[in-house]
Structure 1
Amino acid sequence: MKNTARIGALALAAAALTGCATTNNPNDPLEGFNRTMFSFNDTVDTYALKPVAQAYDTVVPDPVQTGVGNFFGNIGDLWSSINQLLQGRVEQGVSTFMRVAINTTFGLGGVLDVATEARLPREKSDFGQTLGKWGVGSGPYVVLPFFGPSTVRDTAGLPVDMYGDLWTYKRPTRWRNVGAVIRIVDRRAQLLDASTLLEDAALDKYDFVRDAYLQRRQSQISGGSSGKERKEDAIKP
């Protein structure tokens, strides 16, 4: 757990120390640093994560992939519920908590998404969004190594999100680590079609991802829906 806090602290320090790598873009004062990190993440994705996700998508049957996504989504729903309550969105927080209760009880521990069929759709929420609801400014846009698009505010909330993730406390450690890898690969596999469209359509992929991320975050914090899960999320190379 100490390592997760250090990751967040190091990421914040990296953003602060790269203030010299600025541009004339007021919406992206750290663009020089961010483009370097974006290129690094894109290279890691191209040569490591994406090929593994493609193999996973080819070998693992669709129903199994759906079950994996549902299981980890159900775990994340509990933290979303807490954040929604912290944001004063009591009705949504209670609804999301009911999702967890229904899917855990009647959905084989969350493998089946019974709650969506019961008209309780998933709406994700995190601590960065909570900070925004509390009036904390976003600060500059920053691209984190491995984690992708963020802002200074969202980066500060990242360690809290890690502590709030129930899978972090899974024992024994080897099962937690295996599950974490499967979770990442499954998530990337669900974005294969969207990332292909992005590569084909975007003249400047960096600009497209930055603008999409910032617009989506603003929509979440201003009270709009956090968006449908999985493929409709912003791409994070």
Structure 2
Amino acid sequence: MLSRNVKSRAAAPRLNGALAAAALCALTAGCATGPNANPQDPLEPMNRAIFTVNDKVDTYVAQPLAKGYQYVTPEPARIAVTNFFANFSDVGNFANNVLQGKGVAAAETLMRVAINTVLGIGGLIDIATAAGIPRHSQDLGLTLGYYGVPAGPYLVLPLFGPSSVRDGIGLAGSFYLDPAHYFDPAWRNTMFGINVINVRANMLGATDLLSQAALDKYAFVRDAYTQRRQYLLGDGDDALPTYDDDEEPAPAEPATPATPAPAPGMAK
């Protein structure tokens, strides 16, 4: 499936329509749930159907394009393209860090944009990371969560993939924080297409690993997404969930008494 971080102005009307339909479905309880439904995923039947369509589009359209792009494009050029769009995304990161009142993160992100744009040839070279200035990734979904807006039901958006009601609303608003939104439509749509293919090419290895590791790909993606978002809301300070919480802690081993040092003049 295509990366949810790719922002398309041309797709905004379809995204808003999908969000409206999902919200209506949730409010009216019109979407059936199974007897063992995950409480975070009450719309699972609808989500699984969208996930299946997304997976088919990814398999038969996105992956072949990404593999062809990876084959004909040298790695240094792909890295430059990735850096260019990451520099654009730092503009949104800066805005969301400001909205969350994170002054240090906002200042560092602004420095990243300035350094990479001026010294990095428009962002093609990521000089800021090499200089030790970290990236503080944020989005409107995380900003809403920072102020206590609940995530709401898990959603799978057409083409955009895993999300939630809160994150979907944030995604729609993020279009206006993307500098490419204000470009001429021809340039904007061309950049969108390049970004989609480049991001998908960067994820080819992860897709192969997912196919081999997950018995239920849908459930694996859902759980990974929700846990990752919870982790990011804690600024990465909270440990990721473990599965041994019910285990009794191992008893501490008794301390070994220290051997006293021999008195001066005594034989060892």
TM-score normalised by length of structure 1: 0.90
Decide whether the 8 Å contact of 1:133 with 1:221 is kept in 2.
yes
Aligned to 1:9, which of 10, 16, 41?
Answer: 16
Q: Which runs of 5+ in 1 are unaligned?
A: 226-237
Decide whether the 8 Å contact of 2:10 with 2:189 is kept in 1.
no
Distance 2:211 2:95 in 1: 36
Q: Which runs of 5+ in 2 are unaligned?
A: 1-7, 238-268
Deviation at residue 67 of structure 1 after TM alignment: 0.4
Tell me the secondary structure at the aligned position of residue 138 of structure 1. coil
Number of the residue aligned with 1:182 = 194
Distance 1:117 1:3 in 2: 34
> What CA RMSD, in Å, does the superposition of the two structures yield over aligned residues?
1.6
Distance 2:22 2:147 in 1: 23
Decide whether the 8 Å contact of 1:103 with 1:109 is kept in 2.
yes
Percent identity, please.
Answer: 50
Aligned to 2:168, which of 152, 155, 159?
Answer: 155
Decide whether the 8 Å contact of 1:30 with 1:140 is kept in 2.
yes
Matched, 1:146 2:159: yes
Tell me the secondary structure at the aligned position of residue 156 of structure 2. strand
Matched, 1:21 2:51: no
Q: How does 1:37-186 map to 2 (within 5 A)?
A: 37-171=50-184, 173-186=185-198
Deviation at residue 4 of structure 1 after TM alignment: 5.4
Deviation at residue 143 of structure 1 after TM alignment: 0.3
Deviation at residue 45 of structure 1 after TM alignment: 0.2
Tell me the secondary structure at the aligned position of residue 225 of structure 2. helix
Flag the structure with larger Rg.
Answer: 2
Decide whether the 8 Å contact of 1:11 with 1:155 is kept in 2.
no
TM-score normalised by length of structure 2: 0.80
Distance 1:174 1:4 in 2: 14
Distance 2:10 2:80 in 1: 29
Number of the residue aligned with 1:195 = 207
Aligned residue pair count: 224
Deviations 1:190-217 (A, max 9, x none): 0000111000111110011000100111
Tell me the secondary structure at the aligned position of residue 143 of structure 1. strand
Distance 1:127 1:25 in 2: 25
- Structure 1 range deviating more: 35-44 or 156-165: 156-165
Decide whether the 8 Å contact of 1:80 with 1:124 is kept in 2.
yes
Deviation at residue 2 of structure 1 after TM alignment: 8.3
Distance 2:16 2:80 in 1: 34
Higher helix proportion (structure 1 or 2): 1
Distance 1:68 1:4 in 2: 22
Decide whether the 8 Å contact of 2:83 with 2:125 is kept in 1.
yes
Distance 1:158 1:83 in 2: 12
Matched, 1:223 2:235: yes
